[in-house]
Structure 1
C-alpha cells in the first residue's frame, strides 16, 4: 500500500515466499524487488541469489527487521544492492529504489556504518542504531581537517581531494545523511551535494557504500 502511493513506482506483484518471488520475477520482469529475509520454503537470501543469477536486470533491495551481521552480509553477498530495515520511511524506500536503478547502492545509514565497522574491525555499538542528530553533544563544525580527521591527512589527501571534500567523506563514513552533514558543517544541502559529486568523481566511487570503503582504506574517518 505504501509503495503504491509513491510517485514513479508501480507495484506489479507481491509474493508470499522466496519461491513465488523468483517465479514472479521471471513472469513480470520488475526493475526492483523489495525482499524480506525470513520467509517459508525459500528465504530471502536464496531468492536473491536465484533472482540475480537468472535475471540480472532486476535489482534487489532487502527490507527486513534484521540488521545483524548474519542477515546483512549473506544478503549482500547474494547480490542485494540495497538493504533497509523496516523502520525506513517512504522517502528512504523511494531513494533506495532510485539508487539501485541508477547503479548505486541503496543502503541505510546504519548499514553503511556497520560495513565500515566490519572493515575496520571495530565492534558495532548495539545502543547506536541511528545517526546522532546535530545538537549540543555533537562537536562543533570544523573549519579544516585537523580537528576532525587523523593528523597529517591535510598535507597529503589522495586523488586531489580538498580538505572540505575529505571532511564530507569522513561524515559519510560515519553514516550521516546529506541533511545531517549540512547541519554539521553549517552549509546548505545543495553545497553538500556538490562536494559529494566532486569527491565521487575524484575517487571514482559510484555510491556511498564504496565511499565508506574508500574512506577506511585511506584513513579518512574521525574514528581512524
Structure 2
C-alpha cells in the first residue's frame, strides 16, 4: 500500500491536496500534518513514498522535513506545494532534496497532470518554476560563473545574513575600507547592485540555507 503525506497548515488547502493525491493514486493512504513537529512525527512513524510539503509552516520551514526525507535512506518523491515562486524559496528547497515544486495557485487539472507525470519519470514542476530553471541553466552556459575567492565568498555569506559593512569588517578581522573593497569586488564579479541580489546569489551558490 502506497503511503502519502500532505504537510499543510491551512485546512482547506490540506483537504484539496489530499483529494488530488487520492485521485491520482487511488491505492494511496494519505496522512496529514499541519506543522513541522507533527510532520516529523508522522515521518518517524512511517516514511511516505510521496510527500507534498508546504514551506511556510507555523513552527518553522518545510525545508527541515524535506531534508529529513531526502537523507533518511529511502528515495521518496518530495514535492514542495507552496505559493512562493521566488528564488529565495525555490533554490533552498531543491538543494535540500525536493524532487518537485508545485504552486498552489494552479488549477486542479494542472496539478493532477504534474503528479501523474511522476510515473513516467517527469519531475512535477509548475510551468513558472520550470521556465525559471531553464533560464538559469541557459544563463550559466552562456556566461561561465566568475569564481569568487574564499574571502569574497565569506563576504557574500555575511551580506546574505544581513550583516552591515561595519559588522562584516569586524567579523572578518579587517578594516572597514578593506571590507568595502571585498564587497565591491563581489558585486562586480556577480554583476549585482543590491543586498537583495547578493542574498539571492548566496542562496543560489549554496552559501546560505533557507533565507
TM-score by length of 2: 0.51
Match of 2:82 among 53, 64, 70: 64
Tell me, in whole angstroms, the C-alpha distance in 2 between the residues paired with 1:101 and 1:57: 14
Are the equivalent residues in 1 in contact too, given 2:24–2:115 (CA < 8 A)?
A: no
Corresponding residue number in structure 1 for 2:67: 49
Give the Å deviation of 1:21. Answer: 1.5
RMSD: 2.2
Q: Provide Cα deviations, 1:16-47, integer angstroms capped at 9, x if missing partner.
A: 11232232123233221111001133311121
Corresponding residue number in structure 2 for 1:111: 129
Are the equivalent residues in 2 in contact too, given 1:22–1:47 (CA < 8 A)?
A: yes
Corresponding residue number in structure 2 for 1:8: 25
Give the Å deviation of 1:59. Answer: 1.4
- Larger deviation, residues 74-83 vs 2-11: 2-11
TM-score by length of 1: 0.48
Are the equivalent residues in 2 in contact too, given 1:61–1:106 (CA < 8 A)?
A: yes
Are the equivalent residues in 2 in contact too, given 1:32–1:59 (CA < 8 A)?
A: yes
Tell me, in whole angstroms, the C-alpha distance in 1 between the residues paired with 2:39 and 2:110: 23
Give the Å deviation of 1:119. Answer: 2.1
Match of 2:104 among 68, 86, 93: 86
Which secondary structure state, in structure 2, belongs to the residue aligned with residue 12 of structure 1?
Answer: strand
Long gaps (5+) in structure 2: 1-14, 141-211
Count of matched residue positions in the alignment of Structure 1 and Structure 2: 122
Corresponding residue number in structure 2 for 1:186: none
Long gaps (5+) in structure 1: 123-224
For 1:106-185, list aligned pairs within 5 A: 106-121=124-139
Alignment partner of 1:76 is 2:94 = yes
Are the equivalent residues in 1 in contact too, given 2:69–2:76 (CA < 8 A)?
A: yes
Tell me, in whole angstroms, the C-alpha distance in 1 between the residues paired with 2:74 and 2:38: 17
Give the Å deviation of 1:83. Answer: 0.5
Are the equivalent residues in 2 in contact too, given 1:64–1:86 (CA < 8 A)?
A: yes
Are the equivalent residues in 2 in contact too, given 1:63–1:83 (CA < 8 A)?
A: yes
The structure in which a higher percent of residues are strand is: 2
Whichever of the two has the greater Rg, that structure is 2
Alignment partner of 1:28 is 2:27 = no
- Larger deviation, residues 32-41 vs 66-75: 32-41
Tell me, in whole angstroms, the C-alpha distance in 2 between the residues paired with 1:119 and 1:56: 28
